[in-house]
């Protein structure tokens, strides 16, 4: 692990009390390497901005702001993202700062938003779309899968589609139908798209900027139940490229892998397991398409056991793909079959039942028990 | 009021009668100066382009029947709607076609053999719009391109590339779709966005009466042009088999768009004289009488009559016929020379940036195919 930012390091840096989040910077995401080279003699020393404690919503807001400052072709598009700042306030203040030509409150039509964003990208813009809730992405499904994902190949590479689609997703917020879904597999299944999901504020801050800098379309799934918990954000070092997975807790007995909000659940499960004397490793997937199998296979080769956890329906899911791939590539390391802990293959239930539908630490530990019993 | 008594009508704006006389309908009179401003060469070019389009249709259909194309999409009968509107655009304008506007592309500088490559199954696109007079790629999912065109027009606005007061620099967008496509959500959302942002844009509906086998009456109880008003923009119904009105109304609407006056919707009444595609059999759903009716309104015959009345010579028409045949023969010859792309094309450009699955799978396919080299005798 190079420059991985684990909890301890970040807490230490936060304690050092750096400041400067509100200071404009011309630092582009791609140049923000963890080990910055010595700057040329003539240029001023890069400003050290330090580590700040932010919620994920604020971290994405700060990342969007950096992107808007860094490239005048970056536009935000969505429903209620202007003066209101979005229903989750992720774009709060950006309309006031950048104006309605950079932060567009569009007509209320998801296909229209994505379709016009494609036209804007053809014109050289880099639209960043907010889909208000996971369950409302489907009116745009056609434009995303038949148009957005294929423009580059249809143009023989002469046209890029640098469009980011931000999707607040997942459960745990007790909301009504179509507001707690996890539709990421549909998009990971579609060639031409990239799909990522941060699990913490630091990754969210950097990954949104890297997604906007990408010349390919990126579906950016934001675990909405993680919008509010705060965490340290190192504003100077991203730590990892956009499509890298990361070991977030080291252990020796079994590997747990997940993405988005599930990472917090897996860390809780690991804590409980530790009390029971079991050493659990946790991998944060971060990128769902492509999947960075390196750290995962390395982990499985050491632990011999893998549990994949996800809020999404299990049937034909990201977890299914990981289980199949790990079985192919780490067959002789496995001491037990790869097990999946998923949402059930039903519509997301009424919120009163969501705690039984969503994988909990206990359900993860039940799978750990089964894996260790082999 | 009973449905049968409700009145949803719109006048059809026309300059050239089916008999080939220049006799403007009341609504068309305002457009006459635009026609009077055209020189003889341009008027002759209209005839030439319509003739080329029709000749190419024959070549395309033949190639398909001979197994050289997977499909051919005829535009037989729609030449005036396409040629007139295409000539109305200025060089800086952007054109978003559906998939039937072959002559529009050619007018913008597209080599038609690129269309043959698409229909021959050797590419998913076929050209780079930057090299084809801003004629964008065909879009096969109905009405998807309407939204792309609106987004592009929004971009022109944001760039300040329109409405500066210089008609030679200000750009507008022209998008083509059909009567069937008007029922798609995207076509309607495009009108919403265009009206909301007052885009520099013209929506050009070729109402060719049939969406494969379903008549336009299933798509709409009222003239499609009336939908413009519903979305807050002018809607004009024209005789789409009259190349002069197709040119003039589109020209006017594009000039208004580039001047910052917002979008316009045009419904061009025309008729798909041929099949939807070569996979279609129109004898199963429409009558000979209907086809006969439209044959008498043929766009090329009426325009030829008018040009003759203005003194165009038999030699001119013979020359055009010969040129059209030569172009068709040349396209046919070069279509047959289109080669199958190498397998790298499967993986190249799916992404703009490096992607591990593309690298892995391309390498695997290479190794797999190469494993047969020198293998079995």
How do residues B289-323 score in pLDDT, each as one tens digit?
999 999 999 999 999 999 999 999 999 999 999 99
pLDDT > 70? residue A300:
yes
B141 CB neighbours in chain A (<8 A) are 142, 146-147
The catalytic residue among A179, A202, A237, A243 is A179
Examine the fold and report which residue of A207, A234, A261 is the final residue of a domain before the chain moves on. A234
Q: Is residue A32 part of a domain?
A: no
pLDDT at A47 over 90: no
In this predicted model, what pLDDT tens digit does every residue of A87-112 receive, in sequence order? 999 999 999 999 999 999 999 999 99
| Window from B14-18, B110-114, B276-280 with minimum mean pLDDT | B276-280
A27 located within any domain: no
Please check whether residue A95 lies inside any domain of the structure. yes
Stretch A312-330: mean pLDDT: 98
Nearest partner of B180 among B294, B67, B99, B59, judged by Cα: B99
Q: Say yes or no to pLDDT of A4 above 80.
A: no
The CB density around residue B198, as the number of other CB atoms within 10 Å, is: 18
Residues A216 and A250 in one domain: no
Answer whether B237's CB lies under 8 Å from B11's CB.
yes
Nearest to B151 among A117, A160, A191 (CB): A117
**Pairwise pLDDT comparison (A7 vs B20), residue with the higher score:** B20
> A82 lies in a domain?
yes
CATH number at residue A175: 3.40.50.970
| Number of helices followed by number of strands (H, E) in chain B | 15, 8
Determine the Cα–Cα distance for residues B202 and B125; give it in Å rounded to an integer. 24
The whole-number average pLDDT for the span A20-48 is 46
Q: Is residue B153 less than 8 Å (CB to CB) from chain A?
A: yes
> Which residues of chain A are within 8 Å of residue B146 when distances are taken between CB atoms?
115
Does residue A11 carry a pLDDT above 70?
Answer: no
Higher pLDDT: B191 or B279? It is B191
Measured between CA atoms, the residue of chain B closest to residue A193 is B351
The answer to whether B91 touches B170, Cβ cutoff 8 Å, is no
pLDDT of residue B307: 98
The answer on pLDDT for A31 being more than 70 is: no
A143/B186 Cβ within 8 A: yes
Q: ipTM of the assembly?
A: 0.96
Q: In chain A, which residue's Cα lies nearest the Cα of B155?
A: A120
A124 within some domain:
yes
The whole-angstrom separation of Cα B282 and Cα B277 is: 10
Distance (Å) of CA B43 to CA A52, A300, B30, B52, B312: 69, 74, 19, 15, 10
A80 and A218 in a single domain? The answer is yes
For B153-196, the pLDDT digits (tens) are 999 999 999 999 999 999 999 999 999 999 999 999 999 999 99
pLDDT averaged over every residue in chain B: 95
Q: What is the CATH number of domain B9-336?
A: 3.40.50.970
Mean pLDDT (chain A) is: 90
Q: Which of A192, A208, A234 is the last residue of a domain?
A: A234
Residue A96 host element (H or E):
helix A94-98
- In degrees, to the nearest 5, what angle opens at C-alpha B138 toward C-alphas B135 and B140? 160
B129 to chain A: which residues are within 8 Å by CB? 155
Which residues does chain B have within 8 Å of residue A212's beta carbon, measured at their own beta carbons? none
Per the domain annotation, does A210 fall within a domain?
Answer: yes
In contact, A112 and B192? CB cutoff 8 Å: yes
How far is B164 from A192, CA to CA, in rounded Å? 37
A98 cis-preceded (ω within 30 degrees of 0): no
B148: nearest CB among A101, A122, A125: A122
> Are residues A192 and A331 both part of a single domain?
no
Q: Give the range of the structural domain holding residue A155, as residue numbers without chain letter.
A: 54-234
Tell me how many domains chain A contains: 2
B343 is an active site residue: no
pLDDT at A24 over 80: no
Both A203 and A325 in one domain: the answer is: no
Among A234, A269, A294, the domain boundary falls at A234
Contact pairs from chain A to chain B, CB under 8 Å = 128
Which residues are bridge partners to B261 per DSSP? none
């Amino acid at each position: 692990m190079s420059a991985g930012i684990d909890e301890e390091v970040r807490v230490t840096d936060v304690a050092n009390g750096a400041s400067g989040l509100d200071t404009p910077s011309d630092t582009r995401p791609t140049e923000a390497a963890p080990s910055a080279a010595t700057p040329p003699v003539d240029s001023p020393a890069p400003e050290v901005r330090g580590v700040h404690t932010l919620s994920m919503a604020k971290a994405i807001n700060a990342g969007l702001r950096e992107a808007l400052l860094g490239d005048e072709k970056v536009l935000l598009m969505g429903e209620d993202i202007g003066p209101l700042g979005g229903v989750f306030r992720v774009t709060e203040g950006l309309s006031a700062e950048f104006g309605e030509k950079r932060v567009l409150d569009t007509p209320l039509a998801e296909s229209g938003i994505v379709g016009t964003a494609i036209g804007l990208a053809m014109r050289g813009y880099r639209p960043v779309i907010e889909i208000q809730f996971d369950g409302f992405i489907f009116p745009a499904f056609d434009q995303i899968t038949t148009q957005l994902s294929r423009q580059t190949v249809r143009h023989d590479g002469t046209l890029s589609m640098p469009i980011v689609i931000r999707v607040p997703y997942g459960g745990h917020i007790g909301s009504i139908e179509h507001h707690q879904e996890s539709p990421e597999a549909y998009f990971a299944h579609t060639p031409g798209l990239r799909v990522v999901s941060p699990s913490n504020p630091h990754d969210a801050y950097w990954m949104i900027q890297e997604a906007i800098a990408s010349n390919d379309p990126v579906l950016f799934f934001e675990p909405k139940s993680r919008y509010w918990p705060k965490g340290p954000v190192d504003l100077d070092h991203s730590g990892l490229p956009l499509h890298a997975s990361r070991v977030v807790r080291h252990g020796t007995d079994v590997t747990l892998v997940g993405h988005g909000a599930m990472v917090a659940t897996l860390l809780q499960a690991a804590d409980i397991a530790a009390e029971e004397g079991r050493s659990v490793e946790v991998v944060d997937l971060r990128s769902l398409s492509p999947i960075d199998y390196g750290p995962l296979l390395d982990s499985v080769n050491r632990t011999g056991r893998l549990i994949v956890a996800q809020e999404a329906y299990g049937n034909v899911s990201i977890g299914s793909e990981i289980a199949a791939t790990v079985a192919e590539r780490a067959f002789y390391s496995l001491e037990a079959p790869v097990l999946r802990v998923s949402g059930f293959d039903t519509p997301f239930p009424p919120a009163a039942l969501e705690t039984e539908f969503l994988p909990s630490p206990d359900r993860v530990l039940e799978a750990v028990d089964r894996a260790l019993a082999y | 009021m009973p449905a049968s008594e409700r009145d949803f009508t719109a006048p059809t704006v026309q300059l050239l009668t089916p008999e080939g006389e220049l006799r403007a309908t009341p609504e068309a009179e305002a457009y006459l100066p635009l026609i009077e401003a055209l020189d003889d060469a341009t008027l002759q070019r209209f005839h030439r382009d319509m003739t080329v389009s029709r000749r190419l249709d024959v070549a395309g259909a033949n190639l398909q029947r001979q197994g050289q194309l997977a499909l051919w999409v005829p535009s037989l009968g729609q030449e005036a709607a396409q040629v007139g509107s295409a000539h109305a655009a200025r060089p800086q304008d952007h054109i978003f076609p559906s998939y039937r506007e072959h002559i529009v592309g050619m007018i913008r500088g597209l080599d038609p053999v690129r269309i043959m490559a698409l229909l021959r199954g050797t590419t998913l696109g076929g050209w780079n719009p930057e090299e084809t007079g801003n004629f964008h790629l065909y879009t096969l999912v109905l009405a998807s391109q309407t939204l792309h065109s609106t987004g592009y027009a929004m971009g022109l606005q944001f760039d300040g590339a329109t409405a500066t007061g210089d008609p030679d620099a200000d750009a507008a967008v022209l998008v083509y779709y059909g009567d069937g496509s008007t029922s798609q959500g995207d076509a309607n959302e495009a009108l919403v966005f265009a009206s909301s942002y007052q885009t520099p844009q013209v929506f050009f509906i070729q109402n060719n009466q049939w969406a494969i086998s379903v008549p336009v009456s299933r798509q709409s109880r009222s003239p499609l042009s009336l939908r413009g008003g519903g979305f807050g923009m002018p809607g004009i119904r024209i005789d789409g088999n009259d190349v002069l009105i197709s040119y003039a109304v589109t020209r006017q609407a594009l000039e208004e768009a580039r001047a910052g006056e917002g979008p316009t919707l045009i419904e061009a009444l025309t008729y798909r004289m041929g099949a939807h595609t070569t996979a279609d059999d129109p004898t199963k759903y429409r009558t000979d009488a209907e086809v006969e009716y439209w044959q008498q309104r043929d766009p090329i015959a009426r325009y030829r009559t008018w040009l003759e009345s203005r003194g165009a010579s038999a030699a001119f028409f013979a020359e055009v016929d010969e040129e059209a045949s030569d172009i068709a023969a040349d396209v046919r010859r070069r279509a047959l020379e289109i080669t199958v792309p190498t397998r790298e094309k499967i993986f190249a450009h799916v992404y703009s940036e490096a992607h591990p699955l593309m690298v892995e799978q391309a390498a695997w396919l290479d190794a797999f195919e190469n494993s047969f080299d020198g293998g079995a005798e």
